[in-house]
Structure 1
Amino acid sequence: MTSINTNTSAMTALQSLSAINSSLDQTQNRISTGYRVGAASDNAAYWSIATTMRSDNKALGAVQDALGLGQAKVDTAYTGMTAAIDVVDEIKSKLVAAREPGVDKTKINSEIKELQGQLTSIASSASFSGENWLSVNSGAAGYTATKSVVASFNRDSGGNVSVGTIGVDTSKTKLFDSNGAAGILDTGRTGGTVVSTFTLTGATTDANISTMISDVDEALGAMTTAASNLGAAKSRMDIQSEFVSNLRDSIEKGVGTLVDADMTEESTRLKALQTQQQLGVQALSIANSSSQSLLSLFR
């Protein structure tokens, strides 16, 4: 039956064109944003996962920054420690020279005093971002010997989050402690020598000098151990920093797999939908014009 009240063909063509236009809008949106899942309405599960992982990735960025700051602090302390080791080495050499018969011990003492002053200067200068791990005051409010560096951000299977840290025990690296606690250089060694303050005089005996040499060598051993500890902490931070960087890349890649649009696929779909739209418009035009043919029946 042919009717001028109900144009079934036009209704069908219109529904088809509306569906094509909707798909075309969706494809154009994907191409313009680059996302296949750009909102929760596109795919609630993937959108939720991607949003959470993007947030975690930002937190890992903060972890990477914290590791960089921690590495700088360790580097500063290590640089100061190695410089101090060189100075203490020089002090030991001066003491060995003082064992020579007829040597002027007061002149050697003048040289040692300059070196001792250099030790104090090195330790007080080894500061980064307000923290000094070589010259400390253990009596200061809020002082803690273990310095923590943020090293990881973790989320378990239950969705609970936690922050991991790397600790550096500065009680084993400090050279001076203004609170009177034992630093490597400002406390008496086994023979009673305080490396940073001992004095040579003309009356200092060879036996005394031998004790001083032993004590300075003992301090050197402690400083070498401290430098090794700092080096180990730095190495761990370097490894962790590289891991965090790679982890961020992996997370970003994983999120992209979930929500990014395949631009090659979308461009192909766009071409097909544009063609379908043109055909749909023509089909609707034909359906709308079909009722006009009825006029010929009444001529």
Structure 2
Amino acid sequence: MSSIHTNTAAMTALKALQMTNSALESTQKNISTGYRVSDASDNAAYWSIATTMRSDNKALSTVNDALGLGAAKVDVAYTATKSAIDVVDEIKSKLVAAKEPGVDKSKIQSEVKALQEQLKAIADSASFSGENWLASNATSGATKEIVASFTRDSSGAVSIGTVSVDVHSSKLFDSATIDRTTASATGRGILDSTLADYDHDGDGGATTAALTYTVSIYNLDITSVTDDQLDGMIVGVESALNSMTTAAADLGSSKSRIDMQTKFIGNLMDSISSGIGKLVDADMTEESTKLQALQTQQQLGIQALSMANSGSQSLLSLFR
């Protein structure tokens, strides 16, 4: 039936053209943004997941920065400790040389004094970002925490993981001791602590090397010591070297762990970014194909609508 009120063909053509225009608008949006899910209205579940994971990735990026800062601090402490070990090794050599009969101990002491000052300079300069782990007032059991991970469990709860570094066992000097001319048995670093007791005759009894127990590596003076006292100093320096070697090994282990964690965090961030992309990124090859098809459909829809509208004009000829 032909009617001037209802043009079914035109209505059908218009509906098809509107659908095509809507699909074309969506495709153009995907192409311009690069996402097939850019808003919650596109796919609420995928958009929610992607938004949460992007937030977690930003947190991981901050963790990565914190690991870099922590690695730098550990590296500075490790490098300084290695240098200090070399200097203490030289001090031990000087003490051994002082055992030679007839040697001028005062001249050897002047060399030892220079090495002692070098130890202080090394410890004082081992600072990074305002922190010095080798000249500190860290007490027994004190640790430094380095942010190392960010995790989210199945319930959505988040937590921060850390790497602990024992800064008490690695400190060389106690920064609270302004005047380092005296030694203490406790609360000091490896180099300003009182040297351990030395049983020079091996009988397990009292020793006569009294001076050995009131000096540290930093303030020992061999100018007028006896051979027994010198032996005690050598043993004390050797013990300190062992402690410094252990401290350097611990710092090296911490640095290795931080490096591995940094690599893992980097790979994890890449994996999360890849996963987000699979959820919400648009396939540009597919979208370009859709665009070409929809543009063709749009042109055909316009022509179909035009033809449907022109059909009603033919009714006028019936009334001529």
TM-score (norm 2): 0.90
Whether the 8 Å CA contact 2:138–2:168 is kept in 1: the answer is no
Q: Distance in 2 between matches of 1:138 and 1:14?
A: 80
CA distance in 2 between partners of 1:208 and 1:295 (Å): 129
Partner of residue 183, structure 1: 189
1:212 and 2:233 matched: yes
Structure 1 segment 1-299 matched on structure 2, within 5 A: 1-138=1-138, 145-179=142-176, 181-191=187-197, 192=213, 193-201=215-223, 203-299=224-320
DSSP-derived class of the 1:173 partner: coil
Instruction: State the one-letter code of the partner of 1:206.
Output: D
Q: Deviations over 1:209-258 (max 9, x none)?
A: 12111110110000000000000000000000000000000000000000
Distance 2:142 2:104 in 1: 42
Deviations 1:186-222, CA, capped at 9 Å, x for gaps: 0112233511110011x32222212111110110000
Which deviates more, 171-180 or 258-267?
Answer: 171-180
Q: Return the letter of the residue paired with 1:163.
A: I
CA distance in 2, matches of 1:138, 1:29: 59
Displacement of 1:144: 8.2
* RMSD of aligned Cα (Å): 1.3
Aligned residue pairs total 295
State the TM-score, normalized to the length of structure 1: 0.96
The answer to whether the 8 Å contact 1:96/1:213 transfers is yes
Structure 2 unaligned runs (5+)? 178-186, 198-212
Q: CA deviation at 1:171?
A: 0.8
Secondary structure of the corresponding residue to residue 168 of structure 2: helix
Q: Give unpaired runs (5+ residues) of structure 1.
A: none
CA contact (8 A) 1:138 1:179 kept: no
